[in-house]
Amino acid sequence: MIIVLISLMCCCGSDDPSTSGRVEVVFWHAMGGPLGDVLEDTLIADFNRTHPHIRVVPVNMGNYRALSQKIMASVMAGSPPAMAQAYETWTSQLIRGGVIVPLDSLMEADPLYSRDEWDDFFMVFRENNTYDGRIYSFPFNKSVPLIYYNVDLYGQLGLVPAETWTEQRLLLKALCLDANGDGDLLDEGDRWGTAFGPSVWTFECLLAQAGGSLLDDEGTRAAFNGPAGNEALGFLTDLLFVDRTAYLSSGYDHQRDFLNGGLGQVQGSVTSLAFMEQEMERRRASGLPSFTIGVAALPGHTERRVFIAGTNVVLFRNQDSRVVDAGWEFIRWFTSSEQQARWAAGSGYLPAGRSSLDDPLMERKFIDYPGLLAVVLQVETALHEPQATAWYDGREFLSEALEIVLYGRMSAAEALERAAALADAEIRLEAER
Query: For residue range 197-250, what is the model confidence (pLDDT) as tens digits?
Result: 999 999 999 999 999 999 999 999 999 999 999 999 999 999 999 999 999 999
Name the nearest CA neighbour of 392 among 427, 360, 358: 427
Residue 408 predicted with pLDDT over 70: yes
Average pLDDT, the chain: 94
pLDDT at 20: 60
Distance CA 134, CA 107 (A): 11
**Are 229 and 293 contained in the same domain?**
yes
pLDDT at 274: 85
Domain membership flag for residue 383: no
Residue 31 predicted with pLDDT over 60: yes
Task: Give residues with Cβ within 8 angstroms of 396, minimum separation 6.
Answer: none
Region at 8 (left for phi over 0; alpha for psi -120 to 50; beta for the rest): beta
pTM: predicted TM-score of the whole model, two decimal places: 0.92
**Are 66 and 168 contained in the same domain?**
no
How would residue 16 be classed by pLDDT, with cut points 50, 70 and 90? very low
Q: Report angle CA 211, 213, 218 to the nearest 5 degrees.
A: 130
How would residue 28 be classed by pLDDT, with cut points 50, 70 and 90? very high
**Are 57 and 135 contained in the same domain?**
yes
How would residue 42 be classed by pLDDT, with cut points 50, 70 and 90? very high
pLDDT at 201: 98
Distance CA 234, CA 414 (A): 12
**Are 178 and 238 contained in the same domain?**
yes
Give mean pLDDT, residues 394-418: 97
How many residues comprise the chain? 433
Residues 223-233, buried b or exposed e (16+ Cβ, 10 A)?
Answer: bbbbebbbbbb
pLDDT at 7: 42
Distance CA 2, CA 403 (A): 22
For the packed helices 412-432 and 391-406, what is the interaxial angle rounded to 10 degrees? 170
**Are 133 and 196 contained in the same domain?**
no
Contact 347, 177 (CB under 8 A): no
Query: For residue range 89-105, what is the model confidence (pLDDT) as tens digits?
Result: 999 999 999 999 999 99
Task: Give residues with Cβ within 8 angstroms of 352, minimum separation 6.
Answer: 120, 121, 122, 125, 138, 139, 142, 335, 340
**Are 314 and 424 contained in the same domain?**
no
**Are 183 and 265 contained in the same domain?**
yes
Distance CA 266, CA 285 (A): 23
Helix (H) or strand (E) holding 70: helix 64-76
Task: Give residues with Cβ within 8 angstroms of 83, minimum separation 6.
Answer: 25, 26, 27, 28, 313, 314, 315, 316, 327, 330, 331
Domain membership flag for residue 15: no
Name the nearest CA neighbour of 245 among 253, 236, 255: 236
Domain membership flag for residue 340: yes
Contact 119, 355 (CB under 8 A): no
How would residue 10 be classed by pLDDT, with cut points 50, 70 and 90? very low
**Are 165 and 34 contained in the same domain?**
no
φ, ψ at 345 (rounded to 5°): -65, -35
Number of domains making up the chain: 2
**Are 35 and 129 contained in the same domain?**
yes
Residue 366 predicted with pLDDT over 90: yes
What residue numbers bound the domain in which 296 lies? 146-307+390-432
* E strand residue ranges, 4-144: 23-29, 54-60, 83-86, 130-131, 134-135, 138-143
Domain membership flag for residue 6: no
Contact 118, 126 (CB under 8 A): yes
**Are 249 and 397 contained in the same domain?**
yes
Domain membership flag for residue 172: yes
Distance CA 291, CA 239 (A): 25
Q: Report angle CA 210, 311, 209 to the nearest 5 degrees.
A: 5
AA letter at 241? F
CATH code, domain carrying 208: 3.40.190.10
Name the nearest CA neighbour of 82 among 128, 17, 178, 141: 17
Domain membership flag for residue 101: yes
Domain membership flag for residue 384: no
Query: For residue range 66-78, what is the model confidence (pLDDT) as tens digits?
Result: 999 999 999 999 9
Domain membership flag for residue 191: yes
Distance CA 136, CA 103 (A): 5
Q: Of all residues in the chain, what percent carry a pLDDT higher than 70?
A: 95
**Are 132 and 272 contained in the same domain?**
no
**Are 196 and 159 contained in the same domain?**
yes
More confident residue, 8 or 124: 124
AA letter at 381? T
